[in-house]
Structure 1
């Protein structure tokens, strides 16, 4: 299985754009392919360090950037599947692979001979004739290897490698436990009456979920990654709402084989220990030192500044909801599972607007082609052609070829819309192939969502939140498609974590842009556009419920910071997770039980199994730039080709080849102001 003749992963891709042909790939192919790719990469690095010639950019950085191509191909092929279609066999490979991948990454990043060559070139930077991308490449490799611990002594490197391998096992276990517990806790309802308030399409999806699990005649509601659930806003049965939210909040704390409490406390302890070895007071200090934020103190200052008005606004919203409940024949005290349902009632009364009734205007195919794609064409001139002849990794995943305005090929976009038990929760973008002039590669990017799949023949009707998610994730896809760099290190979305959400958040602005909205928001049966008065009410109510939305997000961001601001002496395995959460939320004034945190620690995949540890603040940090950019587009005439081209050329197109704040200043002409964000979220005095 280790030779190219018998292992399809070791043969050169034959499909356009280097898209892997998943059809002949079997689970047993992956580990042998990784073993070969590890060996090839190590040999490529050894060839660099074995040179007698003095280190130069040409003999060190060029081969460093071409090295690892096979490993990158195998890894991106596998991790696309392990996140979107993680069968039992794939999960087993993932667990086996985690420490192997960690050990290999450390072998490269901590290689003393390689670091010596990188440092030697870095020390000569001012005397070398390099272009801006080459200079930044030297700076980044030196900074990243130093930060990883390449300058430590042998004993410290040994400990560091052991910590990294153990952490890779733990984070993989966290995700495995979460997926299993999320599936186990899907809520079974025996009667359709228990789900009163759902649309026929939603009900058919619940019936299909039950049938798929061998529960014919019942209804199964699967859980979302975050604490809440879209159906909480429409279910008329208070007991059904309670069961759904209770199941969501029970993940990882039930004392079974999927309990994540011991896993996460060990993750926290080991991350703190690793930070100490690397010379930092905490994992948060280690992470933010190489982000635009610069320090956890800067993050904490922003979160605390926003938490006060957010909590104040949430309390006002809570009072309005309670007032509505008190007027009912059988009043009760508002609880967390009631919030979304009564929020829609208040919205209907205050704005004469029922957001839950909008789904017939948001048919998924039309949102995609006449909304998401149309906006991209209007801004950037790119066009999309579905390629049914190109196989993806799952039958539900669709492949589109993307061309520039002049007809030249740009890359491939893959959309995987629907939820399934083998797919992790949430929504995300990833690259299967990254663009690089040096390697002669073009981008292949994927968007994954978790929209319930209706019964065969029924249309897929999205909620407004799902429409927003589709536009958001496509903003990441555009970043991955447009980044045009020479060196693979800077390809696609390889930017600072607290900058990466910026392009995706900007792309959300086109959801309500008139010439886009009028094309995609049309009734699935009649074709009639969304009434103008409804659009006006949607815009008028944009700041409505922002106290809740901002508070639940900030609470999660603060939990992330609280865990990862612990020093090695305070981060112990004996921490009680529930007590820690309660203390942390009380500290920032976001401990309102009716407004639960968007993610509790035991199902906070972003930070305990994803790449956002000590970085979940990135969404609000990036939103400062996003809101300021929306203001710029509005001032400059909005949806025009010149505006889109400027945004593409000066921000999306540079990938990670430039300091992100420098790129932003180049685009905007100044640093971002915070006022647009405060106004958007209703946080001004």
Structure 2
């Protein structure tokens, strides 16, 4: 029997992965789409007048089979891909896009939604009704038949292109790994990293590769950097430039059909920033100071190195100057940052102090890979849900780190959350982390908390179902606890002796925090501005050379700093061309404005305390998308966010 066709018998609806086979996916997708189509047909055929219960709630309940199969399948696409999974993905992506269009553009369903009376609805229900009407209009429900037909074609092709981009990027990144025959060339890498590499320097998703900070062989650094920055642009079977150009053209055409001058306008319309012009104004305050600092940092590094700084030199010499100036050695920190202790005595401990959560590992549930671990999550009131951790890198997993869910919370459906965090940490014995990997662990767990602590009625609003430029806010707030003294002294202990990280090293770490922030901010802003440049193109502005357009865009934006290349170049910008961040990569800095302001609130109110956690949980984490996010922020903070804390944090004050 196909396990997706019935609810899972396991706790919290956790999928019965032992029963799942690749051959189950396509039949389950087919059955799930047919089932939801029939459910929607029943809604539109109902002779009773449209009500919230028989239309909106019925729509929220629909698609149970499709939810189950999609949650498992797209987890595997990112975390444990196989040739069979990739083939299914390519086949099913346009089918799912067509299915979504068929529902969203169904004229009978749209008519019923418009006819549902809003009188007497509570706030969350009224917001859901407004959201469904708005989403239908944004998707083209008011267009004529010919325009809708073209819109469906565009959406199907865009879905297929996104899938193909991710597939080529994964294969290309694996093929571009730098193989090192002579172990002496790996000089500078910590011993455990050398052992874990096996003579193969695998590529992480961003431009900057972690090994560049350690390798003493300058030519090997150049090879590694070149392998990173030429992904998708080598004219081979992994080249993604044709996908980039076609995707941008289709998005521009779709935006025009929907009454927008460009794709960025269409995307930003549903965010919290308000307009593309508001984003421009925010970025304009950041770019000049960040670039000036980045250029000054490069000049300082050149003086330290005794030669001009190339992109593959920056991290290496920055680490040595940081060590010299602040006596902070990134490699010397790693023995104090052992994965298990960071997870249990850092990440989980902070969540317990703030929200009263406890985490108990269980070994009775099936896994999609042996690396995966599952934890029961509870608080004083009882079970909360499940947390799934998939932390180690492997060739079947795409680069980066992310959160997703097997099950989302909903009072209407009676479901509790089953939330996953996926990272790409290199396994060791023991696994020792860099400070950046610790930050990523806290960051992704902030997303997990957003999902675990959700308390909404409707699945549309569950957990992280908030505007793109708000979703990174809770995760970035959670990063603050990695440097909290009470948390740090628990998890930052030598993995052999158990000795805590020396106090003087902690102080030097804090002093060094803003070192290199001009470069880091410029790298991020360059990617943000590149994303916006691609998606401000109208349908009458064709581009035929990806690399030339990219170079022009960075120069015109004033972020073409040789020592600080974009965090992602177009050909491997998976957030934008393989994920959901198109015209939305600005969201990280927008969310960090809220985050930095919130860090000040915690400091003003006593920091890591249960009352503070309860307030943040009640006003923000539990609300999901059920309220306007900026109204929730103002209810929490008592005012609108201010930019000054971010500028101070990043060293971007004049």
**Distance across 2 between alignment mates of 1:669 and 1:263:** 45
Matched, 1:630 2:599: yes
Q: In the alignment, which residue of structure 2 is the partner of 1:484? A: 455
**Distance across 2 between alignment mates of 1:306 and 1:356:** 31
Q: In the alignment, which residue of structure 2 is the partner of 1:555? A: 526
Q: TM-score of the superposition, structure 2-length normalised?
A: 0.99
Which residues in structure 2 correspond to 1:274-673 (within 5 Å)? 274-326=254-306, 332-406=307-381, 408-454=382-428, 458-570=429-541, 572=542, 574-673=543-642
Q: Quote how far apart the aligned CAs of 1:337 are.
A: 0.2
346-355 or 602-611: bigger deviation: 346-355
Preserved CA contact (<8 Å) 2:17 2:366: yes
Preserved CA contact (<8 Å) 2:190 2:331: no
Preserved CA contact (<8 Å) 1:287 1:615: yes
Matched, 1:48 2:38: no
**Distance across 2 between alignment mates of 1:678 and 1:69:** 45
Preserved CA contact (<8 Å) 2:171 2:238: yes
SS in 1 for 2:513: coil
Which residues in structure 2 correspond to 1:87-236 (within 5 Å)? 87-121=82-116, 124-125=117-118, 128-207=119-198, 219-236=199-216
**Distance across 1 between alignment mates of 2:129 and 2:513:** 45
Matched, 1:258 2:238: yes
Preserved CA contact (<8 Å) 1:60 1:117: yes
SS in 2 for 1:227: coil
Preserved CA contact (<8 Å) 1:20 1:77: yes
Q: What are the superposed Cα offsets for residues 84-113 of structure 1, whole Å, 9 maximum, x if unpaired? A: 001111000000011001000001111111
**Distance across 1 between alignment mates of 2:40 and 2:442:** 40
SS in 2 for 1:682: coil
SS in 2 for 1:501: helix
Preserved CA contact (<8 Å) 1:401 1:411: yes
SS in 1 for 2:19: coil
Q: TM-score of the superposition, structure 1-length normalised?
A: 0.95
Q: What are the superposed Cα offsets for residues 64-93 of structure 1, whole Å, 9 maximum, x if unpaired? A: 111112111111111111110011110000
**Distance across 1 between alignment mates of 2:222 and 2:126:** 56
**Distance across 1 between alignment mates of 2:556 and 2:366:** 51
Q: Quote how far apart the aligned CAs of 1:12 are.
A: 2.0
SS in 1 for 2:399: coil
Q: Quote how far apart the aligned CAs of 1:575 are.
A: 2.2
Q: Quote how far apart the aligned CAs of 1:393 are.
A: 1.6
Q: Quote how far apart the aligned CAs of 1:233 are.
A: 0.6
**Distance across 2 between alignment mates of 1:130 and 1:77:** 34
Preserved CA contact (<8 Å) 2:6 2:65: no
Q: Quote how far apart the aligned CAs of 1:240 are.
A: 1.3
Q: Quote how far apart the aligned CAs of 1:299 are.
A: 1.4
SS in 1 for 2:18: coil
**Pairwise CA RMSD:** 0.8
Q: Quote how far apart the aligned CAs of 1:448 are.
A: 0.4
Q: In the alignment, which residue of structure 1 is the partner of 2:31? A: 36
**Distance across 1 between alignment mates of 2:280 and 2:64:** 39
Preserved CA contact (<8 Å) 1:253 1:260: yes
SS in 1 for 2:470: coil
**Distance across 1 between alignment mates of 2:533 and 2:265:** 12
Q: In the alignment, which residue of structure 1 is the partner of 2:648? A: 679
**Distance across 1 between alignment mates of 2:229 and 2:323:** 28
Q: Quote how far apart the aligned CAs of 1:153 are.
A: 1.3
**Distance across 2 between alignment mates of 1:370 and 1:66:** 39
Q: Quote how far apart the aligned CAs of 1:237 are.
A: 0.8
**Distance across 1 between alignment mates of 2:470 and 2:156:** 28
Q: What are the superposed Cα offsets for residues 187-233 of structure 1, whole Å, 9 maximum, x if unpaired? A: 100121111111111011111xxxxxxxxxxx001000000111111
Q: Quote how far apart the aligned CAs of 1:394 are.
A: 1.2
SS in 2 for 1:499: helix
Q: What are the superposed Cα offsets for residues 594-634 of structure 1, whole Å, 9 maximum, x if unpaired? A: 11100000000000010000000000000000000000000
**Distance across 2 between alignment mates of 1:10 and 1:461:** 42
Matched, 1:15 2:20: no
Q: What are the superposed Cα offsets for residues 637-665 of structure 1, whole Å, 9 maximum, x if unpaired? A: 00000000000010000011011000101
Preserved CA contact (<8 Å) 1:484 1:491: yes
- Aligned to 2:57, which of 62, 73, 76? 62
Preserved CA contact (<8 Å) 2:334 2:432: yes
Preserved CA contact (<8 Å) 1:304 1:588: no
**Distance across 1 between alignment mates of 2:65 and 2:3:** 12
**Distance across 1 between alignment mates of 2:366 and 2:318:** 43
Q: Quote how far apart the aligned CAs of 1:304 are.
A: 2.4
Preserved CA contact (<8 Å) 2:168 2:240: yes
Preserved CA contact (<8 Å) 2:28 2:65: no
Q: Quote how far apart the aligned CAs of 1:522 are.
A: 0.2
Q: Quote how far apart the aligned CAs of 1:31 are.
A: 0.3
**Distance across 1 between alignment mates of 2:594 and 2:476:** 9
Q: Quote how far apart the aligned CAs of 1:300 are.
A: 1.8
**Distance across 2 between alignment mates of 1:520 and 1:381:** 18
